[in-house]
Amino acid sequence: MKVLLKNPRPDFHRDFGGGGGGGNGSSLSYGMPSAHSQFIGFFAAYYTCVAVFKIGHLQKWQKAVWSVCLGCVGVCVAGSRVYLMYHTWQQVVVGVTVGVMFGMFYFIFSSLMRDVGIVDWVLDWPVIKYFHVKDSYHHCYQTFKDEYDTYLRQRNRVKESRKNI
């Protein structure tokens, strides 16, 4: 997108990416849209959708806190790009907007692929089974605490079995 739009960075970083063989025509010398802002927009939108629509055990206030925290991180990342003069505010706004759109699209697309059974179909392919690929997010969602508790139970079971030897 940067090479297509060819929108320069602010004057302070106009020659950013000009060295190392890239020349002034490299994608690093252009600033529209901000890649950092695209990523944080994608990340915040996708994981907000996950928290709100897919994690059923969270209470409404927890979902709200999750969403606000992701929004604050997004504002900090995007704001830092302008503050550090790597991008103009317009480049950051376009980056965040593109990222949010892709994040929401990916959430909807991946949810539909799971809901209609395409993910399960792919997981049944022999090559996928050979590499032990799994969709633990959808079929057996566990928090880090759940995983840790499972680990402790297994560890204690092994300890107990060693005592009996």
Q: Which of 1-5, 31-35, 66-70 is predicted least confidently?
A: 1-5
The closest of 108, 6, 134, 123 to 54, measured between CA atoms, is: 108
First-to-last alpha carbon distance for the chain, in angstroms, is: 65
Q: How many domains does the chain have?
A: 1
For residue 96, is it within any domain? yes
Is the separation of the CB atoms in 29 and 16 below 8 Å?
yes
Distance CA 114, CA 45 (A): 19
For residue 133, is it within any domain? no
Res. 67 pLDDT band, cuts 50 70 90: very high
For residue 150, is it within any domain? no
Q: pTM for this structure?
A: 0.67
For residue 159, is it within any domain? no
**Range(s) of the domain holding residue 47:** 34-116
For residue 111, is it within any domain? yes
105-154 pLDDT tens trace: 999 999 999 889 999 999 999 999 999 888 877 666 677 788 888 889 99
Instruction: Name 96's Cβ contacts closer than 8 Å, sequence gap at least 6.
Output: 34, 37, 38, 40, 41, 74, 78
DSSP class of 116: T
